[in-house]
A and B are shown apart, each in its own frame.
Chain A
Amino acid sequence: MGGAYYVGELHHSRAGYGLIADADGGRAVNSDAPEIAISSDVLRKWQRIVDLLANIMHVPSAVVCKIEPPDYTHYTVISSSNSTGNPFPVDQIFSMDIGTFCETVIKSREPLLVANGLENDQWKSAPEMRVGMVSYLGFPVFWPDGRVFGTICVLDNKTNRYSDMYQELLSHCRDVLQGDLQTLARLGSELEEQKAHLSELFARVPEAIVLADRDCRIVRVNPEFTKIFGYTAEEAIGRRLQDLIAPDELQEEVESVMYRMVPTGGVFAVETVRRHKNGMPVPVSLLCVPVSSLGSGDTGYVIYRDMTETKRLQDEQRRYQEIQLELAHANRIATIGQLSASITHELNQPLTGILTNCSTGLRMLTDDSPNLDGAREAIRRTMRDANRASEVILRLRTLYSKREVTAELVDLNETTREVIALSLGELQKGQVIVRTEFADDLPLVIGDRVQLQQVVLNLLLNALDAMIGVNDRPRQLVVKTHRQEGDCVGVSVQDSGVGFEPHTVDKLFEAFYTTKQDGMGMGLSVSRSIIESHHGRLWAVPHDGAGATFSFSIPCRTNTNIQ
């Protein structure tokens, strides 16, 4: 591109210059574009270039200048050759209205060659003349977007026409500079993009984020912080975390959390409570992320998740469980209602014995010749029957009483036997043949005996209901207990009833699902929640032939609490 550019004198026209490619006369265009810093690496490289230029071209001065945004009223020398007689030190500033060579190049966006300014009216009073630099060759340097970055130029203290080769060399150096600017601009925009992403994240995460410094002072907060704690960014920045959002009794905790961030450098989480501007406590789960860039003086980010809603859900869950327990109790009572007939039966049997034995005994004693042996035997039987009656009452009371859930050692054989005894009347009335197969080495389980009885009772009554309509085969009920692998104990209730379609199996366990006219549909659902609270499983299998088997199993050596 040797002689292709304008060489010669240039008219200085203020209106004509544009610092930017799409100049609209306003210098402010792009002035708010972020300033890209020239890294020290690049500056070192440019220093070598100007040094080489001065050396090769035998001139006292080779310089790179940079026009300074945002107002472009002056430019600065940013690289200057280390050569004898160079009058321009790095960082020297030139105003843009004193008519220097570089000012002209910047304004015209064109290269400029002045062989000897003293021989030219336009240049003889240029500021360079005063420091003895009479000749000039300079090129404008552009940013990739077309804005003028500044100039690269050489100056001589004598007439110098700068051969085509030198012009080409300088032009080539200008290209190198522009290549560097391109790289810087690209890195810069990538950085900007990342910053933008980070800002977006900062603005949009549903958690409050605080950047804090070593003194726990707030450096930066995101909008969510204001939502959760009530303080605007202006109110928060500069305040100490413990002063702003710590409840009085947790001052020390806040500090210790912050101090823990400094040495560890690792991320950690804390569940705690902070205070809203209005004084209300805010349950939070906070995540502490120490920052590695130590130079900034920032200790790290604290991310607060508002747990109010989660806590509310947990409370709701707890309440739901309470209701379930209430229901279990209600269900127990309802079942007892159903059972009352059977209980009457259970009580009336021993009462009959008592009354009959007493009559017999009385008669034997009041006879003309009293039969003492017979009376003694009758009284012994009376006592036995009375005990039997009181056992029934005791069983009834345990079933009725609404107690806290307890964890005790339970023998499922005994529990199951009791429930069968209690429902025997009902089962007999339904012409059900009951067979039991109890494992005799059954380990104890930890659980709530009454609740487990409730489950067995529900299963028995369901089995009974399932067999009531069956007339073409024996109504057979087999209740088994067994030890299972994995330290579990199981109970199964097998009937020869109507069974169910395999695909409806999940429905059966839903609350309020019932196929019975007077059913509530609570039995299995309550039973399942009881078994699950014992960390066990309750399931059903329809038989290939008639009937179904309902079974549960619970671990026998669990120390975990029953909720």
Chain B
Amino acid sequence: MKPLRESSAIERSLVAVVDDDESVRESLPDLLREFGFAAHAFSSAENFLASDSIGKTRCLILDIAMPGMTGLALQRELKIRKHKIPIIFITAQKDEAVRVRAFEQGAAEFLLKPFSDTALLAALDTALRSS
């Protein structure tokens, strides 16, 4: 990568990705960086909670169905811990009840996998503006 990008990355907003699926964890951060964000991926909700990224995260892209703590549980946990991070949910399962639930709990956006880059960009826009 070019040094210019690297130096300016310090100023960029950090977007965290939490997903148990490896291909999402590998591909999404690169795209986010292409968008101009800093990105960090976590394989579980627990890992994210344990990390020091949590305070710097401007936006969270969160998978719903994960072994252990689910996306919705993490959302509640963050609320309890008073972290007001806007959340974009991503899920491979079309489940209306879950979607409603997510928005009730304050989700910024809800994307069905697979999603286009423009849809993601629009969602990030919405999310960052809401905060």
A interface, CB within 8 angstroms of B: 341, 344-357, 359-360, 363-364, 369, 371, 374, 377-378, 381, 384-385, 388, 425, 428-429, 431, 433-434
B92–A364 CB distance below 8 A: no
- Name the CB-closest residue of A to B92: A348
User: How far apart are B22's CB and chain A's nearest CB, in angstroms?
Assistant: 8
> Would B65 and A384 count as touching, CB distance under 8 A?
no
Instruction: Establish whether residues A353 and B2, one from each chain, have CB atoms under 8 Å apart when the complex forms.
Output: no
Choose one: B2, B26, B94; the contact of A381 (CB below 8 Å): B26
- List CB contacts (< 8 Å) of B78-121 with chain A: 90, 92-94, 112-117
**How many whole Å from A71's CB to the nearest CB in chain B?**
107
- A355–B26 CA distance with the chains assembled, in angstroms: 12
With contacts A349-B23, A355-B114 taken as known, whether A360 is within 8 angstroms of B92 at the C-beta atoms is: no
B residues in contact with A431, CB < 8 Å: 67, 70
**B122: min CB distance to chain A, Å:** 13
Among B2, B112, B113, the residue within 8 A (CB) of A349 is: B113
> Which one of A348, A369, A381 contacts B113 once the chains associate, using CB atoms below 8 Å?
A348
With known contacts A356-B117, A364-B34, A344–B93 Cβ distance under 8 A: yes
Partner pick for B23 among A369, A374, A385, A434, CB 8 A cutoff: A385
Q: What is the CA–CA distance of A428 and B67 in the complex, to the nearest angstrom?
A: 5
Interface residues on B, range: 20 to 34
- In the complex, whether B28 has a CB less than 8 A from a CB of chain A is yes
The reply to whether B66 and A360 form a contact with Cβ atoms under 8 Å apart is no
- Interface presence of B27 (CB below 8 A): yes
Task: Quote the shortest CB–CB distance from B78 to chain A (angstroms).
Answer: 19
In the complex, the chain B residue whose C-beta lies closest to that of A373 is B1
**Residues on A with beta carbons closer than 8 Å to the beta carbon of B128:** none
Complex: chain B residue closest to A434, CB-CB: B67
A425 surroundings in chain B (CB, below 8 A): 65, 92-93
Query: With contacts A341-B93, A429-B65 known, is A355 near B115, CB below 8 A?
Result: yes
B27 near A360 (CB under 8 angstroms)? yes
Q: Which residue of A lies closest to B70 (CB)?
A: A431
Q: Could you tell me the distance between the alpha carbons of A385 and B93 in the complex, rounded to whole angstroms?
A: 18
In the complex, the answer to whether B31 meets A359 with C-beta atoms within 8 Å is yes
How far, in angstroms, from A425 to B64 measured CA to CA in the complex?
11
Alpha-carbon distance between A237 and B1 when the two chains are bound, in angstroms? 107
Q: Does B125 have its Cβ within 8 Å of any Cβ on chain A?
A: no
Known contacts A351-B113, A351-B114, A359-B117; A345/B65 CB under 8 A: yes
B121 smallest CB distance to A (angstroms): 9
A385 to B26, CA, bound (A): 11
One of A348, A378, A384 near B114 (C-beta < 8 A): A348
Q: Give every chain A residue within 8 A of B68 (Cβ-Cβ).
A: 433
By a CB distance below 8 angstroms, the chain A residues around B112 are 348
**27 contacts across the A-B interface (CB closer than 8 A):** A345-B65, A348-B112, A349-B21, A349-B23, A350-B23, A351-B113, A352-B92, A353-B21, A353-B24, A353-B27, A355-B114, A355-B115, A355-B117, A356-B27, A356-B30, A356-B114, A356-B117, A359-B34, A359-B116, A359-B117, A360-B34, A374-B30, A384-B23, A425-B92, A425-B93, A428-B67, A431-B70
Q: A363 to B23, alpha carbons, bound, how many Å?
A: 18
Q: Cα distance A345–B67 when bound, in Å?
A: 14
Which 9 residue pairs spanning A and B have beta carbons closest together? A353-B23, A348-B92, A359-B117, A356-B27, A351-B114, A352-B113, A352-B114, A345-B92, A363-B34
The distance in angstroms between the C-alpha atoms of A101 and B30, with both chains bound, is 141
A374→B2 CA distance, assembly (Å)? 11
**Given A428-B66, A433-B67, A356–B21 Cβ distance below 8 Å?**
no
**In angstroms, how far is the closest chain B Cβ from the Cβ of A479?**
15
Residues 41-74 of B, flagged 1 when their CB comes within 8 A of A and 0 if not, give: 0000000000000000000000001111010000
Look across to chain A and name the residue whose beta carbon is closest to the beta carbon of B121. A359
- With contacts A348-B92, A384-B23 known, is A360 near B31, CB below 8 A? yes
